[in-house]
Chains A and B, each alone.
Chain A
Amino acid sequence: MKPAKPTYLDLEKQLDQSQKTLTAIQQGQVDVIVGDDRHMQLLSLKQTIDMLRRNESNFHALADANLIGIGFGDSIGNVTYINDEMLRMTGYSRADAIAGRINWENCLAPENRPETGTWSERLVEQEVVSVQEWAFLRPDGGRTPVLGAASRITSPDGFLVIIALDHTQIRQAETRSWKSDQRLRMAANSLNIGIFEWDLTNDTAFWENDQMYHIFGRSRRLPPLRYSDFLEQALDFRDKKAFAHAFSNAQHPGNVFTFASRIHRPGSSTLSWIEITGKFYQNDSDLSLNMIGIAKDISEQKEYEQTIENINNLLEQRVRDRTAKIQHQTERLRVLTTKLGQVEQKERNRLAAVLHDHIQPLVVGARMQLWELYRKNDIGEAHKNAHKIEGVLEETLAELRSLTLDLSPSAILNDGLAGGVKWLVSYMKKKFAFTLKPRLEKPIDPISENICFLLFQCLKELLFNVVKHSGEDQATVSIERTQDQKIKIIVCDNGNGFDPDTFAQIQNDTASLGLFSIEERLKDIGGRMVIASAPGQGTTVTLTAPAGETDKEITPQEHRHKRRKGDKPAIRVRNTEDSIGILIVDDHKLLREGLMGLLQMEPDFEVVGEAADADTAIVLAEKLEPDVVIMDVNLGEKTGMDATRQILSKNPHIKVIALSMHSDKRVINAMYHAGASVFLNKTVASDKLIAKVRGCISDS
């Protein structure tokens, strides 16, 4: 069927469509004519050219922006294209580039050149040299550090392309950072503490200073110590659990951790103490938990602390011991005081018994004889009574002397401590049938009188203890003077012995108290007592005391003889010049009266005066000018020696007869030395005294 013939309207519509199509084509709104192969190829070529133009445009934009250096080269390295940034970095000018004076092989610093061949040859082999750090060697001799890469290309304009990024600022920053880091490390290494930084998440150690190697005794060749190494190898097993627990609990960014622990050093058998202090932080880049910290060797500090603790413990122990000892001694002193009171009372009782049983009956007997004397008219009987009275009085005096000797042996006054020991030998034998064997090392004198008496008393009490407790009937005593001028007395027996430690604990034992008393008295004068004993092995007691000062000491007797108040001097008028004038000097009124009565019975004697003290005696002697002065030794503050000396200095013709209870040789010698013509004991018979008075006058 033939197609229908188009109508005018159809034609008009086709025309309108054709016009529109034509307009569209004229206006360039049509891209392609469908079905035309030639146009299709042109269109494809056009698209390719457009793409290349766009790429070229982009490349030029990149090159001209000069953000990075871009250059091309031929097969022998000559530059075929170079942008401004690359020119700046290589130090060449555009004119050099145009004139072909730039070759890539010369631009690189010698250390960046291949060991063999050229860069171009190397690119032939491997096509690409990836990004690495280079330095361009500029014609002016300077260097430009760059990050560069090169690639072989196939291009009509070149063989290779090089790109480079100026690395100067980064390198400078790196250098500054490196120097800063170096300074920090140098400072860290100069410190006496270890510094470390651990990555705890990955269990690595970033770094540590030299002191860390020293503290942990590790070789410098080893890598830095990791936390796991520290925990497993260095830390002592006793601290491991506590450290790991504390460390685990503290692991939080911002927390500070401190721990003191013991560590082992390789090759060392001793433990060291360290203190680790660190702060946890989170790494911003990988969010790992890190710790930066310090380690201090505190071994010395710990040692000092231990020493101080030991000293404190020792001091506390000593204080406890001393306190216990003081308490013990206080208790013993209390017991001793009680005991002393008892002993004192016992001694009083003994003295009272002696006075009551011995002295008092004698005095009563003498008084009865006197009564009998009064009643009798017969001179012969009276004489017998008087003789009996004299006998009773002599017996009384003997008892008193015995008592006095018992209280304070005169042997000490005569022969010092050696004399005292001799007396003790006799006394012990007589009283206890005890044999004391003395060994006296001479010379031991001089010894202070006080020390001498004290040592004598101590020795006496010690020997009483030996008698009571040793079970032996003999002992030895030796006395010597040491090189440091001390008196050492050693008493030794082979008796029962005892344990000194146990013995000291017994507070109420008499022997213990006796020894304690001796020890305390010796301590008081700077001496000491040492006991060496064991059960069944006897006892050796050593007493040591300083010899003491011997000058101008007052004897106990001098202290006892104080001046008696109210004794006034008596002056009598001398009757005849032919008689012997006598001045009586004695602080006892009764004795003066007794002497006066005795002497006045003699027809050729005349008592011209009496004095109770030395000063009165001196005055009266000058005033009365007696022929004889009967002088007592102990007159109070001034002695008979002083009075004698002064009287004789003014009246040398006067004869002085010393009359004393003393039998001490030193006293006797002192009186003779003062000028006395005769020394008589007060116990001397009256006729002997009368004879001596006459004798000294006739001798003159």
Chain B
Amino acid sequence: MALPAVFPEYSMRLFVAGRERNSVMAHNNITKICHTHLKDNCTLEIIDVFENHTAAMEENILLAPTLVIDTPNREIIIGNLQDELQILTALGIR
């Protein structure tokens, strides 16, 4: 993903379980939202729990996929992120 020209307004981390079905769906959905609603004014870090197990444990993330919104407000959303309204609400857009 291209880096924003200024400090991004939205910062997120997505914890996925390899190429599992829900993890792939979650990745696709949040990417789509970044493009569509955030106009790429965001940073999204993907963390595979199969490869980096401890990072999830430190954040107390127990399920994958899980989206952690750091800014503007910390929010945690579990699942394949198919509920777009839920995510936009968490981001403070709706």
Contacts and interface: CB of A to CB of B under 8 A. Distances in A.
A233 interface: no
Contact of A34 (B22, B63, B77, B80): B63
A30 to B, nearest CB: 5
Interface residues of A, number: 17
A32 B78 contact: no
Interface residues of B, number: 23
Contacts of B22: 28-31
Interface in A1-38: 17, 20-21, 23-25, 27-35
Interface in B43-94: 49-50, 53, 56-57, 61-65, 76-80, 82
Contact of B79 (A27, A33, A34, A43): A27
B75 to A, nearest CB: 9
Contact of A35 (B53, B76, B82): B53
A35 B20 contact: no
Contacts of A191: none
B79 A32 contact: no
A40 B50 CA distance: 8
Contacts, number: 58
B56 A30 contact: no
Given A31-B22, A35-B57, A43-B20, A24 B79 contact: yes
Contact of A30 (B57, B63, B76): B63
B17 interface: yes
B18 to A, nearest CB: 8
- Give the one of A23, A30, A33 with max B CB within 10 A: A30
B21 interface: yes
Given A17-B76, A24-B79, A31 B53 contact: no
B17 to A, nearest CB: 4
A580 B49 CA distance: 189
B78 A29 contact: yes
B17 A31 contact: yes
Nearest to B60: A34
A21 B17 contact: no
Contacts of B61: 34
Contacts of A20: 77-79
Contacts of A25: 63, 78
Contacts of A17: 76
B17 A32 contact: yes
A107 B21 CA distance: 47
A56 B66 CA distance: 33
Interface in A188-243: none
Nearest to A32: B17
Given A27-B79, A29-B22, A34-B53, A43 B62 contact: no
Given A21-B78, A24-B79, A40-B50, A32 B20 contact: yes
Nearest to A29: B79
Nearest to A18: B78
B78 A30 contact: yes
Given A17-B76, A24-B78, A40-B50, A31 B64 contact: yes
Nearest to B49: A34
B73 to A, nearest CB: 12
A34 B21 contact: no
Nearest to B57: A35
B78 A33 contact: no
Contacts of B50: 40
B2 to A, nearest CB: 28
Contacts of B63: 21, 24-25, 30, 32-34
Interface of A: 17, 20-21, 23-25, 27-35, 40, 43
Closest 9 CB pairs of A and B: A29-B79, A24-B79, A31-B20, A32-B17, A31-B17, A29-B80, A24-B78, A34-B56, A30-B63
12 contacts: A20-B78, A20-B79, A21-B63, A29-B22, A29-B65, A29-B79, A31-B23, A31-B65, A34-B49, A34-B56, A35-B56, A43-B20
